Copies of this chain bind each other. A is one copy, B any other.
Amino acid sequence: MLADKETKFDLEEFLPYRINRAAEWISLNFAKEYKSRYDMTRPEWRALAALGSLGRITATEIGVHSGMHKTKVSRAVKGLEDRRWLTRTQNGDDRRMEYLELTSTGKASYRELAKVALSYEARLVSLLGAQGVDNLKRALNAIEAAARSSTANRDLKRRFD
């Protein structure tokens, strides 16, 4: 006798849910560090990190390198500007865009936060162990490869404009 077609589903075994919960836990713990120190939002931290590691770039480039929507970038940049952590300079060739660059205060904050970030990552690595980190990186590589080929296939195109 066949049982009727009952669909077995357990949210706590569902991979998308598990990945999300793990990611949330990891980034909440890290966010506490920069929120409590600087009262920064996550988009601001990401924009700062992009500017700190890349130097003088445009808002669009921040979006590309931080995976954020352009409205998030726009507001994060405004936030950093209000703190005097970055300056804008007009591009003479194309005045639609501005080059963004960290001030010396911004750079100092970046260096400090980069250290915090690296030590947080080090704690995570020691938590997972060498083998665990290796597993995680392999999995991330596979997902990132899938994401790249799917966005190339116009699947998520509209989400990123």
A interface residues (Cβ-Cβ under 8 A, vs B) = 7, 9-12, 14-30, 46, 49-50, 52-53, 65-67, 111, 114-115, 117-118, 120-121, 124-125, 127-129, 131-133, 135-136, 138-140, 142-144, 146-147, 150, 155-156, 159
Contact = CB atoms under 8 A, between A and B. Distances in A.
A136 B15 contact: yes
26 contacts: A7-B111, A7-B114, A7-B118, A9-B49, A9-B114, A9-B117, A11-B49, A14-B49, A14-B117, A15-B133, A16-B120, A16-B121, A19-B19, A19-B23, A22-B143, A22-B144, A23-B23, A25-B143, A25-B156, A28-B159, A29-B156, A127-B142, A128-B139, A128-B143, A135-B135, A135-B138
This protein's copies in its complex: 2
B138 A25 contact: no
